[in-house]
Structures are given as structure tokens and as C-alpha cells.
């Protein structure tokens, strides 16, 4: 598959869903979340990694994730985020909405006008 890297901005509003999905796999600190998004997307998205933090703090304020300080892999202090039950519910809803939107877009792209 050929990809145009200049167009690899993340679709608006999808970052929260991708963070929640990443945390569904287990608690992670921000750096680990960034690495996961990088690896799982096969380096597709070109986003500044700092943009994760406003999103993480927003999700925490909404009660969708909780946080706790703990030792990192290198035994340094890092802040770990965990998906809450409200976050799991929100992820389910967002995933469902995303699939519906994806299908709607596919239908529009495949639409053929009736022949006269």
C-alpha cells in the first residue's frame, strides 16, 4: 500500500478513541502510549507526541482514565494511565460510531447514480 506521508494528520476527534483503545491493552505512561501508536499505525500518523498530554488530561477530567505515579521500566518515576469502566463504555460507543461512519463513507464513495 502506498501512503502519502504529507497527508498523515490524524482524523479530527480520533485521538481520544485511539488512546482509550491503547489503554484497553493495559496501563501505560504517555511515552509508551506514543510508542504504541507509532508501532501499531506502522509509523503512519505524523503528530507531535506532546499533543497526547492535553488529550490524556482531558480524558482524566472526564473520568475515562485514571492515573497513578509508579516506577518505569528504567526504574524512573512515570505517570501511568489506566482505562476506567466509564472509559471502557466510552470506547465501545466511539468504536461503534467510528465503524458506522466508516461504512457511511464507503457507501457514499461506492454510490452509483441510476442510469437514465
Q: Does 58 bind other proteins (CB under 8 A)?
A: yes
**What are the backbone dihedrals phi and psi of residue 25, each rounded to the nearest 5 degrees, phi first?**
-80, -5
The nearest distance, CB 74 to other proteins, in angstroms, is 8
Residues counted in the chain = 116
Contacts of 93 (CB under 8 A, 6+ apart): none
Segment interacting with other proteins, rule: CB under 8 A, options 6-14, 16-24, 49-57, 84-92: 49-57
Sign of CA pseudo-dihedral 46, 51, 55, 60: positive
DSSP string, 37-106: HHHHTTT-----GGGHHHHHHHHHHTTSEEEEEEE-TTS-EEEEEEE-HHHHHHHHHHHHHHHHHHHHHH
Q: Does 82 bind other proteins (CB under 8 A)?
A: no
Q: Does 77 bind other proteins (CB under 8 A)?
A: yes
The nearest distance, CB 93 to other proteins, in angstroms, is 19
Please pick, from the candidates 11, 26, 54, 70, the single residue that binds other proteins as defined by CB under 8 A. 54
Please pick, from the candidates 4, 6, 7, 48, the single residue that binds other proteins as defined by CB under 8 A. 48
User: Which residues of this protein are in contact with other proteins, per CB under 8 A?
Assistant: 29-31, 34, 38-39, 42-43, 48-51, 53-54, 57-58, 60-61, 66-69, 72-73, 76-79, 106-107, 110
Amino acid at each position: 500500500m502506498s501512503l502519502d506521508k504529507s497527508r498523515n494528520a490524524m482524523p479530527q476527534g480520533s485521538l481520544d478513541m485511539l488512546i482509550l483503545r491503547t489503554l484497553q491493552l493495559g496501563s501505560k505512561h504517555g511515552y509508551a502510549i506514543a510508542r504504541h501508536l507509532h508501532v501499531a499505525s506502522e509509523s503512519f500518523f505524523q503528530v507531535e507526541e506532546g499533543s497526547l498530554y492535553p488529550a490524556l488530561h482531558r480524558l482524566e477530567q472526564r473520568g475515562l482514565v485514571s492515573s497513578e505515579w509508579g516506577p518505569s521500566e528504567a526504574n524512573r518515576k512515570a505517570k501511568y494511565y489506566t482505562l476506567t469502566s466509564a472509559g471502557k463504555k466510552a470506547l465501545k460507543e466511539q468504536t461503534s460510531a467510528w465503524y458506522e461512519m466508516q461504512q457511511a463513507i464507503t457507501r457514499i464513495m461506492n454510490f452509483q447514480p441510476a442510469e437514465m
